[in-house]
Amino acid sequence: MRLLLCAVVLWWLLEVFRYGGASGLLELSLGKFRNVLLNQTNPVEAVIRNIASNVTVVIFQVHAQQSDVVISFDKNPSVNSSGTGVDKGLVSILRPQQTVCTWYLQSLDASQVLSTAISIPYMEKDPIPGGCNLEFDLEVDPNIYLDYTLVDIHIKFAPANLGYNRGANPPSCDSGTGQNSRWRLHYDVYQYFLPENDLSEMVLMSHIRKMSEVRSIKANGIKMLTLTTDDKTNVYFSSLPGQGVIYNVIVWDPLWNTSAAYIPVHTYACSFADLVDNCSSLSKLSTKVFFTAFAVLGLFTCFFGHRFWKTDLFFMGFIFTAFFFFVFITRVTGLSYDVRLILTAVAGIIGGLLLVVSWWRFGSILLCMFIIGLVLGFLFSSTVFFTPLGDYRVFRDDVVFWVTFSSVALMIPVLFVGCPRILNILASGIVGSYAVILAIACYVYTSLAYITLDLLRRVLNDYFSRAYTNVPFQTNDFIILSVWTMLALSGVTVQLRRERSEVPFPPHPYLAWKRERERRSTNVLDPSHHIPPLRERIHNKLLHIKELFQKEQPAGERTPLLL
C-alpha cells in the first residue's frame, strides 16, 4: 500500500514538472507543444526566445477541453488584446529585430485546468489568418467561432490577409478585388473526428495537435469544402451530440503557393456540466424505453414477419404513422419532447391497428404492400443520402433533394410490384433489424442512427439543408454494421426457407368468415348447422347461471306427520 501511494505521488510530481506547474514561467519553442496546468489566481507567462529573423508572424494558441482559458498580450487582459474560450489564439506581428514574444495564460476556473499550448511561425509570403477582421474584437483574429445546437454546428471566421515583411504596412483589405489583393485567397475547411465514446482530456490534447499545423491538417483531416472570395466565411455541419469533432481552416495563397492555419476548434455538441442529458448520458429515459420496445417488435418481425402477417402489418403501420405524426406534432405544437414521444407512440399503435383492420375487413393487400414498400424505400433512400452523395452541392436545394429522395423511395415498391412476398420478407428483415440498431444507439454512440435521424432533421428544420452531414465511421460502427447485416441476412434467409412451400399470403379473413357462415347455413349435414340460434343460446346460459344461486333441496320427507 505504501509503495502504491509513493508511486502515485511520484507520478503527480512528474506530471506537474512536465506541465510546467500551475504558475510561473513557461518556456516555449516554435512548433512544439507544451501541456500546462492553469488556474484562476496565478497567470502563467509564456515566452518564446531567439525567434529567427525570417519569421514575420507567430500564432500562439491554447486549448482546454471544457473550461474557458484567457489568453492575452498583457498581464491585465482587455477586450482588444485578449481572447477567452476553450480554443483560443493570438497573432503576434513581429517588429524588426524582435526576437522575443510573450503571452499570458490563466483559466476562469478555480481548480486546475489541463491545457496544451503551441506557437507556430509563418514567413513573409504566408497569408495571415484573420488579418482582415471586421467583425470580432481583435484587430487580427485567427480564431474560429463555433456555436452548436442539437441540430447543427455553425463555424465562422474572419477573412485572412496577404503576408508582408517585418516593419512594412499590411496590405489594404479593401483596395481592390484583383489578383494582387487578399481576394485571391482560398479557404479549405477541414473536419477531424475524435475516437468514438472517448471523452477524456488527454485524448483531446493528443488529437488536437494533428489539426494545428498545415501539414498535419492535410494529412489527418477530412477536407469538406473550399471557400472563395464569393463565399461567406461561415459553414454549417450536422450536430453529433457526444462525438468529439475538431474543425480548422487552411487559407491558401495560389500566387505564392503558401498556406497558414487558423486556430483549431473542437466540440462535443453537448454539455459536460448539465446534470441531465450531458455528454455522458445523452439519451433520455423515454427515448430508451420507446426504442427498446420498438427493437423487440422489430427483432420478432425480422425473423417471423411474414409468418405472423398481422404483426408485420402492425409494425409497418406503426412506423409509417409514427413518423408522419411526430413531424406534424413537432411542427405545429410546442409540446415537450417526452409528451411528443408518448403521443407519437399512441398514434403509431392506432396506425398499426388501422392497417391490420383495413386488411382484415377490406382485403386491401395493395395498400398494405404499398405502405410496406414505402417504409423500405424510405430506409433505402435515406441510406443513399447518408453516403457522401448527400453532401453534393446540388442537394442543398430542397426541391432537388425531395424529388430525388421520393423517386428513389418509390422505386422500391414499383420494382417489387410483381413479387409481394419477396418485398414483404425483405422489408421485415431489413427494417426490423434496423430497429435493433436504433435501440443500440440509445446506449452506445453509433453513426448508423443518423441514417434516419438526418432525414428527420431535414424534415423538421427549414435550414438543415445548408449543413454538411459527414459522420465518423470507426471501429464501433463497423461492428454494429456487421450486426445489422447479420440480422438482416439471417432474417431474410430464415423467412425465405420457411415460406417457400407456403401460400404467398394468408387468405383474407373477412372473406373466409363469410364463406364459412354461408357454408354453415346451407349444409344441413354440417353439425355446426344445428347450433341453436343466438337468443336461445344466451337464454340457456342465463338459466345455467341462475341455477348456481339456488339452494340445494335436502333429500327425504318434509311433510309433518298426521296425528
Question: How high is the pLDDT of residue 526?
Answer: 54
C-beta of residue 337 within 8 angstroms of C-beta of residue 456:
no
CATH superfamily, domain 1-267, is Immunoglobulins (2.60.40.10)
Long-range CB contacts (within 8 A, 24+) of 515-521:
none
Per DSSP bridges, beta strands 222-227 and 144-148 are unpaired
Per-residue confidence band for 300, with pLDDT thresholds at 50, 70 and 90: very high
Mean pLDDT of 325-340: 91
Q: Name the DSSP letter for residue 388.
A: G
pLDDT tens per residue across span 479-488: 999 999 999 9
DSSP states along 92-118: EEPPTT---EEEEEEESSSS-EEEEEE
In the chain, pLDDT over 70 holds for what percent of residues?
85
At residue 4, the pLDDT reads: 41
* Cα 310 → chain centroid: 33
Low-confidence winner among 213-227, 265-279, 517-531 (lowest mean pLDDT): 517-531
Average pLDDT over residues 493-516: 71
For 327, half-sphere exposure in the C-beta direction (CA atoms, 13 angstrom radius) is 14
Query: What is the percent of the chain where pLDDT is above 90?
Result: 50
Q: Is the pLDDT of residue 324 over 70?
A: yes
User: How far apart, in Å, do the first and last CA atoms of the chain sit?
Assistant: 109
pLDDT digits (tens, 9 = 90+) for 371-382: 998 999 999 999
Indicate if the pLDDT at residue 317 is higher than 50: yes
Confidence check: pLDDT of 252 > 70: yes
Distance separating alpha carbons of residues 175 and 183, to the nearest angstrom: 10
Q: 438543415: which residue's cell?
A: 464
Q: pLDDT tier at 439 (50, 70, 90 boundaries)?
A: very high
Burial 318-348 (b: 16+ CB within 10 A, else e): bbbbbbebbeebbeeeeeeeeebbebbbebb
Burial class (CB in 10 A: 0-12, 13-18, 19+), 403: exposed
Q: What is the pLDDT of residue 548?
A: 57
The answer to whether residue 561 scores a pLDDT higher than 60 is no
CA dist 154 → 43, 166, 208, 243 (Å): 31, 35, 19, 16
Q: Which pLDDT band holds residue 302 (cuts at 50, 70, 90)?
A: very high
Which pLDDT does position 553 carry in this prediction? 57
Pick from 178-182, 193-197, 504-508 the range whose average pLDDT is largest.
Answer: 193-197
- The band of 348, judged by pLDDT with boundaries at 50, 70 and 90, is very high
Assess contact for 296 and 435: CB atoms under 8 A: no
Between helix 285-304 and helix 475-499 the angle, nearest 10°, is: 40
Higher pLDDT, 526 or 496: 496
Give the sheet arrangement for strand 24-28, strand by strand: 24-28, 44-48, 101-107, 69-72, 82-85
Residue 404, pLDDT score: 95
d(CA 382, CA 405): 8
Kindly give the residue spans of alpha helices, DSSP state H, lying in 333-397.
337-362, 365-386
- Res. 16 pLDDT band, cuts 50 70 90: very low
24 vs 249, more confident: 249
CA R_g for the chain: 35
- What integer pLDDT is reported at residue 510 of this predicted model? 57
Query: Does residue 251 surpass a pLDDT of 90?
Result: yes
pLDDT digits (tens, 9 = 90+) for 138-151: 899 999 999 998 89
pLDDT at 344 over 70: yes
Matching residue, cell 431489413: 430
Q: Tell me if 87 sits within 8 A of 264, measured CB to CB.
A: yes
For residue range 391-434, list pLDDT tens digits in order. 888 998 999 999 999 999 999 998 887 788 889 999 999 999 99
pLDDT digits (tens, 9 = 90+) for 82-125: 899 999 999 999 999 889 999 999 888 878 888 999 999 999 99
Say if strands 44-48 and 24-28 run parallel, antiparallel, or are unpaired.
parallel
- Residue (of 415, 425, 432, 420) closest to 493 by Cα position: 425
Domain limits of the chain? 1-267, 285-499
Q: Which three cell numbers stand for residue 206?
A: 493528443
- How far apart are the C-alpha atoms of 155 and 396, rounded to whole Å? 18
pLDDT for 140 equals: 92
Neighbours of 206 (CB within 10 A): 13
Q: pTM of this prediction? A: 0.83
What is the average pLDDT value for the chain, to the nearest integer? 85
